[in-house]
Structure 1
Amino acid sequence: MRRANLAGRLFMGAVALFLAAPLVVIAGVSLNGQRRLLFPPEAPSLRWYTAFAGDAGWTGALTNSVAIALCSAALAVSIALPLSWFLWRYRVRYARALFTLGVAPFILPPVVTALGFLVFWTSVGLYGDILATIISHGIFFVTLPLVNLSLGFESIERETVEAARTLGADDRTVFRTVVLPAILPYLLSGYAFAFVLSINEYIVAYMVSGFTVETVPIRIYNALRYGYSPVMAVVAVLFVTVSLTVFGLMARKGRLLRLLGRDRA
Protein backbone atom coordinates (compact mmCIF):
# COMPACT_ATOMS: atom_id res chain seq x y z
CA MET A 1 0.00 0.00 0.00
CA ARG A 2 2.80 2.40 0.90
CA ARG A 3 4.60 1.61 -2.34
CA ALA A 4 1.40 2.30 -4.29
CA ASN A 5 0.96 5.64 -2.52
CA LEU A 6 4.60 6.55 -3.13
CA ALA A 7 4.30 5.62 -6.81
CA GLY A 8 1.15 7.69 -7.12
CA ARG A 9 2.82 10.70 -5.53
CA LEU A 10 5.87 10.37 -7.75
CA PHE A 11 3.66 10.14 -10.83
CA MET A 12 1.66 13.22 -9.85
CA GLY A 13 4.90 15.06 -9.10
CA ALA A 14 6.21 14.18 -12.57
CA VAL A 15 2.97 15.43 -14.12
CA ALA A 16 3.23 18.67 -12.12
CA LEU A 17 6.82 19.20 -13.28
CA PHE A 18 5.83 18.53 -16.89
CA LEU A 19 3.02 21.09 -16.69
CA ALA A 20 5.17 23.65 -14.86
CA ALA A 21 8.13 23.44 -17.27
CA PRO A 22 6.67 25.81 -19.92
CA LEU A 23 5.80 28.32 -17.20
CA VAL A 24 9.38 28.24 -15.91
CA VAL A 25 10.70 28.80 -19.44
CA ILE A 26 8.37 31.76 -20.00
CA ALA A 27 9.36 33.29 -16.67
CA GLY A 28 13.02 32.88 -17.58
CA VAL A 29 12.55 34.43 -21.02
CA SER A 30 10.90 37.48 -19.45
CA LEU A 31 14.16 38.14 -17.55
CA ASN A 32 16.41 38.35 -20.62
CA GLY A 33 18.49 41.50 -20.63
CA GLN A 34 18.35 41.68 -24.43
CA ARG A 35 15.45 41.48 -26.86
CA ARG A 36 16.00 37.78 -27.47
CA LEU A 37 14.06 34.55 -26.94
CA LEU A 38 16.58 32.68 -24.83
CA PHE A 39 16.43 30.25 -21.93
CA PRO A 40 18.27 30.31 -19.58
CA PRO A 41 18.14 34.11 -19.78
CA GLU A 42 21.22 36.14 -20.67
CA ALA A 43 22.16 38.99 -18.36
CA PRO A 44 19.01 38.60 -16.21
CA SER A 45 17.20 41.88 -15.69
CA LEU A 46 13.78 43.33 -14.83
CA ARG A 47 14.06 45.64 -17.82
CA TRP A 48 10.99 44.30 -19.57
CA TYR A 49 8.84 44.44 -16.45
CA THR A 50 9.74 48.13 -16.20
CA ALA A 51 8.99 48.56 -19.89
CA PHE A 52 5.58 46.98 -19.42
CA ALA A 53 4.72 49.23 -16.47
CA GLY A 54 5.86 52.33 -18.33
CA ASP A 55 4.07 51.63 -21.62
CA ALA A 56 0.69 53.38 -21.79
CA GLY A 57 -0.50 50.96 -24.46
CA TRP A 58 0.08 47.87 -22.32
CA THR A 59 -1.24 49.40 -19.11
CA GLY A 60 -4.33 50.70 -20.94
CA ALA A 61 -4.98 47.24 -22.38
CA LEU A 62 -4.54 45.73 -18.92
CA THR A 63 -7.00 48.23 -17.45
CA ASN A 64 -9.55 47.36 -20.15
CA SER A 65 -9.08 43.62 -19.56
CA VAL A 66 -9.50 43.89 -15.79
CA ALA A 67 -12.55 46.18 -16.07
CA ILE A 68 -14.21 43.90 -18.61
CA ALA A 69 -13.43 40.78 -16.56
CA LEU A 70 -14.76 42.26 -13.31
CA CYS A 71 -18.01 43.48 -14.87
CA SER A 72 -18.64 40.48 -17.14
CA ALA A 73 -18.04 38.01 -14.28
CA ALA A 74 -20.54 39.93 -12.15
CA LEU A 75 -23.02 39.84 -15.04
CA ALA A 76 -22.52 36.10 -15.52
CA VAL A 77 -23.18 35.46 -11.83
CA SER A 78 -26.25 37.73 -11.82
CA ILE A 79 -27.70 35.65 -14.68
CA ALA A 80 -26.69 32.26 -13.30
CA LEU A 81 -27.89 32.81 -9.72
CA PRO A 82 -31.63 33.31 -10.35
CA LEU A 83 -31.63 30.68 -13.10
CA SER A 84 -29.99 28.00 -10.98
CA TRP A 85 -32.19 28.92 -7.99
CA PHE A 86 -35.35 28.65 -10.10
CA LEU A 87 -34.32 25.26 -11.48
CA TRP A 88 -33.57 23.96 -7.97
CA ARG A 89 -36.58 25.53 -6.25
CA TYR A 90 -39.39 24.57 -8.61
CA ARG A 91 -38.21 21.40 -10.42
CA VAL A 92 -40.11 22.29 -13.60
CA ARG A 93 -40.36 19.84 -16.46
CA TYR A 94 -38.38 22.07 -18.79
CA ALA A 95 -35.52 22.46 -16.29
CA ARG A 96 -33.10 20.44 -18.42
CA ALA A 97 -33.91 22.59 -21.47
CA LEU A 98 -33.26 25.79 -19.50
CA PHE A 99 -30.00 24.41 -18.13
CA THR A 100 -28.90 23.40 -21.63
CA LEU A 101 -29.72 26.91 -22.85
CA GLY A 102 -27.57 28.31 -20.05
CA VAL A 103 -24.53 26.22 -20.95
CA ALA A 104 -25.01 26.51 -24.73
CA PRO A 105 -22.76 29.61 -25.20
CA PHE A 106 -19.81 27.70 -23.76
CA ILE A 107 -20.57 24.44 -25.58
CA LEU A 108 -20.70 25.99 -29.04
CA PRO A 109 -17.40 26.71 -30.82
CA PRO A 110 -16.17 30.15 -29.71
CA VAL A 111 -15.96 31.36 -33.31
CA VAL A 112 -19.65 30.60 -33.86
CA THR A 113 -20.67 32.41 -30.69
CA ALA A 114 -18.37 35.34 -31.51
CA LEU A 115 -19.84 35.67 -35.01
CA GLY A 116 -23.32 35.74 -33.52
CA PHE A 117 -22.29 38.54 -31.17
CA LEU A 118 -20.67 40.39 -34.08
CA VAL A 119 -23.84 40.32 -36.16
CA PHE A 120 -26.01 41.34 -33.22
CA TRP A 121 -23.91 44.27 -31.99
CA THR A 122 -23.39 45.54 -35.52
CA SER A 123 -27.14 45.52 -36.12
CA VAL A 124 -27.88 47.49 -32.93
CA GLY A 125 -25.04 49.95 -33.49
CA LEU A 126 -22.87 49.05 -30.47
CA TYR A 127 -20.02 47.34 -32.31
CA GLY A 128 -16.72 48.46 -30.81
CA ASP A 129 -18.26 49.61 -27.53
CA ILE A 130 -16.82 48.32 -24.25
CA LEU A 131 -20.37 47.67 -23.00
CA ALA A 132 -20.89 45.21 -25.85
CA THR A 133 -17.70 43.38 -24.86
CA ILE A 134 -18.78 43.18 -21.21
CA ILE A 135 -22.23 41.82 -22.07
CA SER A 136 -20.80 39.35 -24.60
CA HIS A 137 -18.28 37.99 -22.10
CA GLY A 138 -20.96 37.81 -19.41
CA ILE A 139 -23.22 35.71 -21.64
CA PHE A 140 -20.34 33.62 -22.99
CA PHE A 141 -19.05 32.67 -19.53
CA VAL A 142 -22.41 32.29 -17.76
CA THR A 143 -21.93 28.52 -17.98
CA LEU A 144 -19.22 28.48 -15.31
CA PRO A 145 -21.16 30.09 -12.45
CA LEU A 146 -24.31 28.26 -13.58
CA VAL A 147 -22.66 24.85 -13.19
CA ASN A 148 -21.02 25.82 -9.89
CA LEU A 149 -24.21 27.27 -8.42
CA SER A 150 -26.21 24.25 -9.55
CA LEU A 151 -23.79 22.05 -7.61
CA GLY A 152 -24.18 24.37 -4.64
CA PHE A 153 -27.96 24.22 -4.65
CA GLU A 154 -27.92 20.44 -5.02
CA SER A 155 -25.72 20.21 -1.91
CA ILE A 156 -28.45 21.82 0.22
CA GLU A 157 -30.62 19.38 2.12
CA ARG A 158 -34.25 20.21 1.43
CA GLU A 159 -35.18 19.04 4.91
CA THR A 160 -33.26 22.05 6.27
CA VAL A 161 -35.27 24.41 4.09
CA GLU A 162 -38.53 22.79 5.12
CA ALA A 163 -37.54 23.03 8.79
CA ALA A 164 -36.90 26.77 8.41
CA ARG A 165 -40.31 27.25 6.80
CA THR A 166 -41.96 25.20 9.52
CA LEU A 167 -40.46 27.56 12.09
CA GLY A 168 -42.11 30.51 10.34
CA ALA A 169 -39.43 31.81 7.95
CA ASP A 170 -40.71 33.21 4.66
CA ASP A 171 -38.97 32.62 1.31
CA ARG A 172 -36.71 35.69 1.64
CA THR A 173 -35.60 34.72 5.12
CA VAL A 174 -34.94 31.14 4.05
CA PHE A 175 -32.85 32.33 1.12
CA ARG A 176 -30.88 34.82 3.24
CA THR A 177 -30.24 32.60 6.26
CA VAL A 178 -30.12 29.06 4.83
CA VAL A 179 -29.60 29.05 1.08
CA LEU A 180 -27.18 31.95 0.56
CA PRO A 181 -24.60 30.85 3.19
CA ALA A 182 -24.60 27.35 1.66
CA ILE A 183 -24.05 28.49 -1.92
CA LEU A 184 -21.70 31.39 -1.19
CA PRO A 185 -18.48 29.38 -1.84
CA TYR A 186 -19.94 28.17 -5.14
CA LEU A 187 -20.97 31.70 -6.07
CA LEU A 188 -17.47 33.03 -5.39
CA SER A 189 -15.83 30.21 -7.31
CA GLY A 190 -18.14 30.78 -10.29
CA TYR A 191 -17.21 34.46 -10.26
CA ALA A 192 -13.50 33.58 -10.05
CA PHE A 193 -13.70 31.14 -12.97
CA ALA A 194 -15.54 33.67 -15.14
CA PHE A 195 -13.09 36.44 -14.19
CA VAL A 196 -9.95 34.44 -15.01
CA LEU A 197 -11.27 33.19 -18.36
CA SER A 198 -12.63 36.60 -19.32
CA ILE A 199 -9.30 38.33 -18.72
CA ASN A 200 -7.63 35.80 -21.04
CA GLU A 201 -10.34 35.67 -23.72
CA TYR A 202 -9.46 36.79 -27.26
CA ILE A 203 -11.91 35.59 -29.93
CA VAL A 204 -15.13 37.13 -28.60
CA ALA A 205 -13.37 40.36 -27.58
CA TYR A 206 -11.81 40.71 -31.04
CA MET A 207 -15.05 39.99 -32.89
CA VAL A 208 -17.10 42.38 -30.76
CA SER A 209 -14.72 45.29 -30.34
CA GLY A 210 -12.09 44.81 -33.04
CA PHE A 211 -9.24 47.18 -32.24
CA THR A 212 -11.49 49.83 -30.69
CA VAL A 213 -11.36 48.36 -27.18
CA GLU A 214 -7.90 46.85 -26.90
CA THR A 215 -7.56 44.13 -24.27
CA VAL A 216 -4.28 42.45 -23.36
CA PRO A 217 -4.83 39.38 -25.62
CA ILE A 218 -5.64 41.70 -28.53
CA ARG A 219 -2.61 43.83 -27.69
CA ILE A 220 -0.40 40.74 -27.77
CA TYR A 221 -1.74 39.80 -31.21
CA ASN A 222 -1.14 43.31 -32.51
CA ALA A 223 2.37 43.40 -31.08
CA LEU A 224 3.29 40.06 -32.67
CA ARG A 225 2.85 41.61 -36.11
CA TYR A 226 5.92 43.77 -35.42
CA GLY A 227 8.11 41.03 -33.97
CA TYR A 228 8.71 39.33 -30.66
CA SER A 229 9.36 41.24 -27.47
CA PRO A 230 10.05 39.84 -23.97
CA VAL A 231 7.23 42.12 -22.80
CA MET A 232 4.86 39.42 -24.07
CA ALA A 233 6.51 36.94 -21.72
CA VAL A 234 6.02 39.45 -18.91
CA VAL A 235 2.30 39.57 -19.72
CA ALA A 236 2.14 35.76 -19.73
CA VAL A 237 3.82 35.66 -16.31
CA LEU A 238 1.31 38.24 -15.06
CA PHE A 239 -1.66 36.20 -16.32
CA VAL A 240 -0.31 32.98 -14.80
CA THR A 241 0.28 34.76 -11.49
CA VAL A 242 -3.29 36.07 -11.43
CA SER A 243 -4.71 32.63 -12.24
CA LEU A 244 -2.58 30.87 -9.63
CA THR A 245 -3.49 33.47 -7.01
CA VAL A 246 -7.23 33.20 -7.67
CA PHE A 247 -7.36 29.42 -7.77
CA GLY A 248 -4.90 29.14 -4.88
CA LEU A 249 -7.20 31.23 -2.71
CA MET A 250 -10.13 29.08 -3.81
CA ALA A 251 -8.24 25.92 -2.88
CA ARG A 252 -7.17 27.31 0.49
CA LYS A 253 -10.32 29.13 1.58
CA GLY A 254 -13.06 27.57 -0.49
CA ARG A 255 -12.26 23.86 -0.46
CA LEU A 256 -11.64 23.52 -4.17
CA LEU A 257 -12.48 19.80 -4.37
CA ARG A 258 -15.90 20.50 -2.89
CA LEU A 259 -16.46 23.37 -5.33
CA LEU A 260 -15.64 21.01 -8.19
CA GLY A 261 -18.36 18.62 -7.07
CA ARG A 262 -16.58 16.09 -4.86
CA ASP A 263 -19.38 16.05 -2.28
CA ARG A 264 -21.96 15.41 -4.98
CA ALA A 265 -19.98 12.43 -6.26
Structure 2
Amino acid sequence: MTTLLQRLYFTLIGLFLALPLIVVAGVSVNARQTLAFPPQGFSLSWYGEIFANPEWRNALLASLTLAAFSAALALLIALPLAWFLWRRVAPWASIFQILGIAPFTLPPVITALGLLTFWATTGFYGQPWTAVISHAIFFVTLPLVTISLGFSAIDRSFVEAAATLGADDRTIFRTVVLPLILPYLVSGYAFAFVLSLNEYIVAYMTVGFTMETLPIKIFNALRYGYTPTMASVTILFVAVAALIFGLVARFGDLPKLLGAMSPADK
Protein backbone atom coordinates (compact mmCIF):
# COMPACT_ATOMS: atom_id res chain seq x y z
CA MET A 1 0.00 0.00 0.00
CA THR A 2 2.85 2.31 0.83
CA THR A 3 4.49 1.64 -2.56
CA LEU A 4 1.19 2.37 -4.33
CA LEU A 5 0.82 5.67 -2.50
CA GLN A 6 4.39 6.62 -3.35
CA ARG A 7 3.82 5.89 -7.02
CA LEU A 8 0.59 7.87 -6.98
CA TYR A 9 2.30 10.77 -5.24
CA PHE A 10 5.19 10.92 -7.70
CA THR A 11 2.79 10.54 -10.63
CA LEU A 12 0.81 13.56 -9.43
CA ILE A 13 4.03 15.54 -8.92
CA GLY A 14 5.16 14.60 -12.45
CA LEU A 15 1.84 15.69 -13.94
CA PHE A 16 1.96 18.96 -12.01
CA LEU A 17 5.47 19.70 -13.30
CA ALA A 18 4.53 18.71 -16.85
CA LEU A 19 1.29 20.72 -16.85
CA PRO A 20 2.80 23.95 -18.29
CA LEU A 21 4.42 21.95 -21.09
CA ILE A 22 1.12 20.17 -21.81
CA VAL A 23 -0.66 23.53 -22.07
CA VAL A 24 2.02 24.95 -24.39
CA ALA A 25 1.87 21.82 -26.56
CA GLY A 26 -1.90 22.19 -26.80
CA VAL A 27 -1.62 25.85 -27.75
CA SER A 28 0.92 25.02 -30.47
CA VAL A 29 -1.61 22.93 -32.42
CA ASN A 30 -4.44 25.46 -32.46
CA ALA A 31 -6.16 25.73 -35.83
CA ARG A 32 -6.76 29.43 -35.20
CA GLN A 33 -4.27 32.17 -34.46
CA THR A 34 -4.93 32.19 -30.74
CA LEU A 35 -3.31 31.01 -27.55
CA ALA A 36 -6.48 29.26 -26.40
CA PHE A 37 -6.35 26.05 -24.40
CA PRO A 38 -7.87 23.52 -24.93
CA PRO A 39 -6.92 24.00 -28.61
CA GLN A 40 -9.62 25.18 -31.00
CA GLY A 41 -9.20 22.65 -33.75
CA PHE A 42 -5.97 20.89 -34.70
CA SER A 43 -3.25 22.10 -37.03
CA LEU A 44 0.51 21.64 -37.35
CA SER A 45 0.85 24.66 -39.62
CA TRP A 46 2.47 26.71 -36.85
CA TYR A 47 5.38 24.30 -36.79
CA GLY A 48 5.74 24.75 -40.53
CA GLU A 49 5.70 28.50 -39.95
CA ILE A 50 9.05 28.23 -38.17
CA PHE A 51 10.68 27.00 -41.38
CA ALA A 52 8.47 28.71 -43.98
CA ASN A 53 8.53 32.23 -42.56
CA PRO A 54 11.89 33.89 -43.39
CA GLU A 55 12.00 35.78 -40.08
CA TRP A 56 11.48 32.68 -37.94
CA ARG A 57 13.76 30.59 -40.16
CA ASN A 58 16.58 33.13 -39.96
CA ALA A 59 16.17 33.31 -36.18
CA LEU A 60 16.36 29.51 -35.98
CA LEU A 61 19.54 29.44 -38.08
CA ALA A 62 21.05 32.23 -35.98
CA SER A 63 20.30 30.31 -32.77
CA LEU A 64 21.75 27.05 -34.11
CA THR A 65 24.87 28.79 -35.42
CA LEU A 66 25.42 30.69 -32.18
CA ALA A 67 24.89 27.57 -30.06
CA ALA A 68 27.17 25.40 -32.21
CA PHE A 69 30.11 27.81 -32.28
CA SER A 70 29.81 29.01 -28.67
CA ALA A 71 29.63 25.43 -27.36
CA ALA A 72 32.69 24.51 -29.42
CA LEU A 73 34.60 27.53 -28.11
CA ALA A 74 33.56 26.75 -24.53
CA LEU A 75 34.90 23.22 -25.04
CA LEU A 76 38.20 24.54 -26.41
CA ILE A 77 38.56 26.74 -23.32
CA ALA A 78 37.52 24.08 -20.81
CA LEU A 79 39.60 21.18 -22.15
CA PRO A 80 43.12 22.61 -21.65
CA LEU A 81 42.03 24.18 -18.35
CA ALA A 82 40.72 20.85 -17.02
CA TRP A 83 43.86 19.08 -18.30
CA PHE A 84 46.05 21.61 -16.51
CA LEU A 85 44.10 21.30 -13.26
CA TRP A 86 44.37 17.51 -13.43
CA ARG A 87 48.09 17.31 -14.25
CA ARG A 88 49.27 20.19 -12.04
CA VAL A 89 48.00 19.52 -8.53
CA ALA A 90 48.80 22.71 -6.61
CA PRO A 91 46.91 24.95 -4.14
CA TRP A 92 47.08 27.96 -6.46
CA ALA A 93 45.57 25.94 -9.34
CA SER A 94 42.14 26.13 -7.67
CA ILE A 95 42.07 29.83 -8.57
CA PHE A 96 41.69 28.89 -12.24
CA GLN A 97 38.89 26.48 -11.36
CA ILE A 98 37.06 29.22 -9.49
CA LEU A 99 37.49 31.55 -12.48
CA GLY A 100 36.13 28.81 -14.73
CA ILE A 101 32.90 28.37 -12.77
CA ALA A 102 32.43 32.03 -11.80
CA PRO A 103 30.50 33.18 -14.94
CA PHE A 104 27.80 30.54 -14.43
CA THR A 105 27.41 31.21 -10.70
CA LEU A 106 26.76 34.93 -11.17
CA PRO A 107 23.24 36.13 -12.04
CA PRO A 108 22.90 36.18 -15.86
CA VAL A 109 21.99 39.86 -15.91
CA ILE A 110 25.24 40.76 -14.09
CA THR A 111 27.31 38.76 -16.57
CA ALA A 112 25.34 40.24 -19.48
CA LEU A 113 25.87 43.81 -18.26
CA GLY A 114 29.57 43.16 -17.81
CA LEU A 115 29.87 41.77 -21.34
CA LEU A 116 27.80 44.66 -22.73
CA THR A 117 30.11 47.17 -21.08
CA PHE A 118 33.21 45.37 -22.32
CA TRP A 119 32.09 45.10 -25.96
CA ALA A 120 30.78 48.67 -26.00
CA THR A 121 34.08 49.95 -24.60
CA THR A 122 36.15 48.02 -27.15
CA GLY A 123 33.92 49.18 -30.00
CA PHE A 124 32.82 45.70 -31.08
CA TYR A 125 29.28 45.85 -29.71
CA GLY A 126 26.74 44.29 -32.06
CA GLN A 127 29.14 42.01 -33.94
CA PRO A 128 27.79 38.43 -34.18
CA TRP A 129 31.09 36.91 -33.07
CA THR A 130 30.89 38.79 -29.78
CA ALA A 131 27.80 36.74 -28.92
CA VAL A 132 29.76 33.55 -29.62
CA ILE A 133 32.54 34.60 -27.24
CA SER A 134 30.04 35.85 -24.64
CA HIS A 135 28.07 32.60 -24.64
CA ALA A 136 31.30 30.58 -24.51
CA ILE A 137 32.44 32.51 -21.43
CA PHE A 138 29.01 32.23 -19.81
CA PHE A 139 28.65 28.47 -20.39
CA VAL A 140 32.30 27.35 -20.07
CA THR A 141 31.43 26.03 -16.60
CA LEU A 142 29.38 23.16 -18.03
CA PRO A 143 32.09 21.49 -20.14
CA LEU A 144 34.66 22.34 -17.47
CA VAL A 145 32.70 20.39 -14.86
CA THR A 146 31.95 17.41 -17.10
CA ILE A 147 35.51 17.18 -18.45
CA SER A 148 36.90 17.47 -14.92
CA LEU A 149 34.67 14.53 -13.95
CA GLY A 150 36.14 12.62 -16.88
CA PHE A 151 39.69 13.35 -15.79
CA SER A 152 38.92 12.35 -12.20
CA ALA A 153 37.71 8.97 -13.44
CA ILE A 154 41.02 8.19 -15.17
CA ASP A 155 43.37 5.80 -13.41
CA ARG A 156 46.63 7.74 -13.18
CA SER A 157 48.58 4.49 -13.47
CA PHE A 158 47.68 4.47 -17.18
CA VAL A 159 49.40 7.82 -17.62
CA GLU A 160 52.39 6.74 -15.55
CA ALA A 161 52.73 3.56 -17.62
CA ALA A 162 52.65 5.54 -20.87
CA ALA A 163 55.25 7.98 -19.53
CA THR A 164 57.45 5.05 -18.45
CA LEU A 165 57.33 3.71 -22.00
CA GLY A 166 58.65 7.04 -23.29
CA ALA A 167 55.47 8.88 -24.34
CA ASP A 168 55.49 12.65 -23.97
CA ASP A 169 52.54 14.71 -22.72
CA ARG A 170 51.12 15.21 -26.20
CA THR A 171 51.21 11.50 -27.01
CA ILE A 172 49.74 10.59 -23.62
CA PHE A 173 46.91 13.01 -24.15
CA ARG A 174 46.15 11.82 -27.70
CA THR A 175 46.43 8.06 -27.16
CA VAL A 176 45.44 7.54 -23.51
CA VAL A 177 43.53 10.49 -22.09
CA LEU A 178 41.42 11.67 -25.05
CA PRO A 179 39.69 8.30 -25.72
CA LEU A 180 38.81 8.02 -22.02
CA ILE A 181 37.30 11.49 -21.71
CA LEU A 182 35.56 11.56 -25.10
CA PRO A 183 32.07 10.86 -23.66
CA TYR A 184 32.58 13.74 -21.24
CA LEU A 185 33.61 16.03 -24.09
CA VAL A 186 30.44 15.14 -25.99
CA SER A 187 28.22 15.66 -22.96
CA GLY A 188 29.90 18.97 -22.10
CA TYR A 189 29.33 20.18 -25.66
CA ALA A 190 25.70 19.00 -25.53
CA PHE A 191 24.98 20.82 -22.26
CA ALA A 192 26.53 24.06 -23.51
CA PHE A 193 24.75 23.76 -26.89
CA VAL A 194 21.28 23.28 -25.41
CA LEU A 195 21.59 26.10 -22.88
CA SER A 196 23.09 28.45 -25.47
CA LEU A 197 20.20 27.64 -27.78
CA ASN A 198 17.72 28.80 -25.13
CA GLU A 199 19.70 31.72 -23.68
CA TYR A 200 18.17 35.19 -24.02
CA ILE A 201 19.66 37.87 -21.76
CA VAL A 202 23.35 37.58 -22.77
CA ALA A 203 22.52 37.39 -26.47
CA TYR A 204 20.14 40.33 -26.19
CA MET A 205 22.70 42.46 -24.34
CA THR A 206 25.45 41.77 -26.88
CA VAL A 207 23.77 41.50 -30.30
CA GLY A 208 20.06 42.01 -29.62
CA PHE A 209 19.78 44.88 -32.09
CA THR A 210 21.81 43.33 -34.91
CA MET A 211 21.01 39.60 -34.77
CA GLU A 212 17.79 37.86 -33.77
CA THR A 213 18.05 34.46 -32.15
CA LEU A 214 14.86 32.52 -31.53
CA PRO A 215 14.49 33.64 -27.88
CA ILE A 216 15.01 37.26 -28.95
CA LYS A 217 12.56 36.77 -31.82
CA ILE A 218 9.91 35.46 -29.44
CA PHE A 219 10.22 38.46 -27.16
CA ASN A 220 10.22 40.88 -30.11
CA ALA A 221 7.16 39.17 -31.61
CA LEU A 222 5.24 39.66 -28.36
CA ARG A 223 4.99 43.37 -29.20
CA TYR A 224 2.80 42.56 -32.20
CA GLY A 225 0.51 39.99 -30.60
CA TYR A 226 0.43 36.34 -29.67
CA THR A 227 0.60 33.50 -32.16
CA PRO A 228 0.85 29.72 -31.67
CA THR A 229 4.20 29.90 -33.50
CA MET A 230 5.75 30.98 -30.20
CA ALA A 231 4.38 27.87 -28.52
CA SER A 232 5.59 25.64 -31.37
CA VAL A 233 9.11 27.11 -31.00
CA THR A 234 8.99 26.24 -27.31
CA ILE A 235 8.01 22.64 -28.04
CA LEU A 236 10.75 22.47 -30.68
CA PHE A 237 13.32 23.59 -28.09
CA VAL A 238 12.07 20.98 -25.62
CA ALA A 239 12.20 18.27 -28.31
CA VAL A 240 15.77 19.17 -29.28
CA ALA A 241 16.89 19.17 -25.63
CA ALA A 242 15.14 15.84 -24.98
CA LEU A 243 16.74 14.31 -28.08
CA ILE A 244 20.26 15.50 -27.20
CA PHE A 245 20.07 14.47 -23.56
CA GLY A 246 18.42 11.21 -24.55
CA LEU A 247 21.36 10.40 -26.81
CA VAL A 248 23.78 11.33 -24.02
CA ALA A 249 21.90 9.04 -21.63
CA ARG A 250 21.75 6.25 -24.23
CA PHE A 251 25.43 6.20 -25.08
CA GLY A 252 26.89 7.44 -21.78
CA ASP A 253 26.39 7.37 -18.03
CA LEU A 254 24.15 10.43 -17.63
CA PRO A 255 23.96 10.35 -13.78
CA LYS A 256 27.77 10.23 -13.58
CA LEU A 257 28.09 12.99 -16.18
CA LEU A 258 25.83 15.10 -13.95
CA GLY A 259 28.09 14.45 -10.96
CA ALA A 260 26.44 11.45 -9.28
CA MET A 261 28.74 8.96 -7.58
CA SER A 262 28.70 5.33 -8.60
CA PRO A 263 28.16 2.68 -5.89
CA ALA A 264 31.85 1.75 -6.14
CA ASP A 265 32.87 5.32 -5.29
CA LYS A 266 30.75 5.55 -2.16
TM-score range, shorter chain: over 0.9
Q: Deviations over 1:44-98 (max 9, x none)?
A: 1112122222111110011000000000000000000000100010112212111
How does 1:120-139 map onto structure 2 within 5 Å?
Answer: 120-139=118-137
Post-superposition shift, 1:177? 2.0
Instruction: Give the CA deviation at 1:173.
Output: 2.1
Change (3 A) 1:165 1:14: farther
Distance 1:106 1:5, change over 3 A: same
Paired with 1:229 and 1:79, the residues of 2 have a C-alpha distance of 40
Q: Distance in 2 between matches of 1:45 and 1:126?
A: 44
Distance 1:34 1:85, change over 3 A: same
Q: Which amino acid aligns with 1:111?
A: V
CA distance in 2 between partners of 1:53 and 1:75 (Å):
27
Q: Secondary structure at the match of 1:195?
A: helix
Corresponding residue for 1:20? 18
- Counterpart of 2:171 (choices 170, 173, 181) is 173
- Equivalent-residue separation in structure 2 for 1:96 and 1:9 (angstroms): 43
**Aligned residue pairs, count:** 263
Equivalent residue in structure 2 for 1:202, among 187, 190, 200: 200
Give the TM-score normalised by structure 2.
0.94
Task: Report if the CA contact (8 A) 1:61-1:219 is conserved.
Answer: yes
Aligned CA-pair RMSD: 1.6
Q: Which runs of 5+ in 1 are unaligned?
A: none
The answer to whether the Cα contact below 8 Å between 1:211 and 1:218 also exists between their aligned partners in 2 is no
The change in CA–CA distance for 1:164 and 1:6 in structure 2 (over 3 A counts) is farther
Structure 2, unpaired ranges of 5+: none
Other-structure match for 1:225: 223
Aligned to 1:161: 159
Equivalent position of 2:141 in the other structure: 143
Q: Which moved more, 1:130-139 or 1:92-101?
A: 92-101
The whole-number CA distance in structure 2 between the counterparts of 1:102 and 1:53 is 37
Distance in 2, Cα, partners of 1:55 & 1:173: 50
1:84 is matched with which residue?
A: 82
1:106 aligned to which of 104, 109, 134: 104
Q: Distance in 1 between matches of 2:3 and 2:79?
A: 40
TM-score norm. by structure 1 comes to: 0.94
